[in-house]
Amino acid sequence: MDHDVIIVGASYAGMSAGLQLARARRGVLIVDAGERRNRFAAASHGFLTQDGVAPADIADTARAQLMKYPTVQWHAGLARRAQSVDGGFLVETDAGARHGARRLILATGVRDELPDIAGLAERWGRHVFHCPYCHGYELDQAPLGVLATSELSMHQALMLPDWGPTTLFLNDVFEPDAGQHAQLQARGVRVVRGRVARLRGAADVVMQDGQAYALAGVFVATRVRPGDLPGQLGCALEDGPMGPFVRTDAMKATTVPGLFACGDVARPAGSVALAVGDGAMAGAAAHRSLMFGV
Ligand code: FAD
Ligand code: MG
C-alpha cells in the first residue's frame, strides 16, 4: 500500500486526525476539495482560542502547522470513488489517480440543502443561519425569525428567544398542536401562518400576501447529506434529525473494519470544536489500529 492512512476531507475534522498521525510519523495522504461547510460565514464562533476568527483563517493556520510534518502529502481535489480491497482501501481522485492505504478516514462533512425561498441562499451564513450558538449572539437581541422546514423547527423556535424576540413562520409546513402552542406561548414566540414569498433587506421576511416582517436574522433547519463515499464503502448509516450520518463507535470506527469517520459526516449535529475532537479521536484510533490491528 502507498500510504498508512488516506484522509478524505481536510477541514477541521480531517486535519485534526492528520495531526495525530503526522506526530506518530505515519504516512498520510490528504485528499480535500476545499469546500468547508461554514465557508459562507465571515466569522466562526464558539471554538476555544478562535472565537470570531474567519473560518478560512482557522483552516489555513491548521494546514500550515500540519504540512510542517514531512510524512503528510496533500492532494487538492475530489475523491470520486473509494472501495475496500485486500489489506486496505483504494481511493480514486477526480484527476484519475488511484491511491492505496491501509486505513481510511472519512472527514467529508455534509452538504446543507436549503429551503427553496427567493433571497434565502444568498443570505446563508450572513443573515440566515441554522445554529444560534454559532451566530445568535451577534444579532444583538434584535427580532429574529424561524422559517419552518419541518416540525423540528419547533426546537429552534423554542431556543431562539434566548437570543432575541422570536417569530415562527409556519410556511404551511406544519401546524402546532395545542401542546406545542402552549410551549411556544410560554417562551413568548409569535406564530405567523401563511406562505413566505421571499427575503429582502438584511433578513426581512415578506409573505405571499405582501405583509413584511423586519428581522435581523432568520434561522432554518437544513436537510444534510453525507455524500457518496459512505455508501460506496458500505458503512452503516444512522438517521439523525437533519439527515443520515455515518455510524461510529466511541473511537470513531465505522462498521467497516479499518474505516474511520469524524466530524459532521459522523454525528447528528456538529461544530468546529466537535469536529476537531472527533478528528483527534479518529486519528489516534487509526494509528492504534495500524499498530495493533484492532
Ligand atoms: P467541513 O468543514 O464541512 O469540511 C469537509 C471537507 O471535506 C471540505 O473541505 C470538503 O470539500 C471535503 N470533501 C467532502 N467530500 C469530499 C470528497 N469526496 N473528496 C475530497 N474532499 C471532500 N460551527 C462552529 O463551531 N461555529 C460557527 O460559527 C459555525 N458557523 C457555521 C455557519 C454556517 C453557515 C454553517 C453551514 C455551519 C457553521 N458551523 C459552525 C458548523 C461547521 O461548519 C461544521 O460543524 C464544521 O465545518 C464541520 O467540520 P468537518 O471537518 O466535519 O467538515
Ligand atoms: Mg474535515
pLDDT digit string (tens) for 58-100?
999 999 999 999 999 999 999 999 999 999 999 999 999 999 9
Q: Measured on CA atoms in the order 152, 154, 159, 165, is the torsion positive or negative?
A: positive
> Same CATH topology for 3-112+223-292 and 115-220?
yes
CATH 3.40.50.300 is the classification of domain 3-112+223-292: no
Give the span between the Cα atoms of 35 and 289, in whole angstroms.
29
Q: Write the DSSP string, 218-268.
A: EEEPPEEE--SHHHHHT--EEE-SSSEEE---TT-B-SSTTEEE-GGGGSS
Model pLDDT for residues 30-53, shown as the tens digit of each residue: 999 999 999 999 999 999 999 999
Q: Decide if pLDDT at 54 tops 80.
A: yes
pLDDT tens digit sequence for 203-234: 999 999 999 999 999 999 999 999 999 999 99
Question: Does the 115-220 domain belong in CATH 3.50.50.60?
Answer: yes
Atom of ligand 1 nearest to the CA of 40: 34
pLDDT at 294 over 90: no
Local confidence band at 1 (pLDDT 50, 70, 90 cut-offs): confident
Return the closest-CA partner of residue 237 out of 110, 121, 139, 64: 110
Placement of cell 486535519 in the chain: 15
Q: Which ligand 1 atom is at minimum distance from the Cα of 279?
A: 51
How remote is the CA of residue 36 from the centroid of ligand 1, in Å? 4
Q: Which ligand is nearest to the CA of 38?
A: 1
Q: pLDDT tens digits, residue range 136-164?
A: 999 999 999 999 999 999 999 999 999 99
Where are the domains positioned within the chain?
3-112+223-292, 115-220
Give CA–CA dist 197/68, Å, rounded: 51
- Mean pLDDT value across the chain: 97
Nearby residues for ligand 2 (ion, Cβ within 5 Å): 9, 11, 13-14, 107, 263
Q: Which three cell numbers stand for residue 263?
A: 466530524
- pTM, full prediction: 0.97
Closest among 109, 38, 41 to 79, alpha carbons compared: 109
114: pLDDT strictly greater than 90: yes
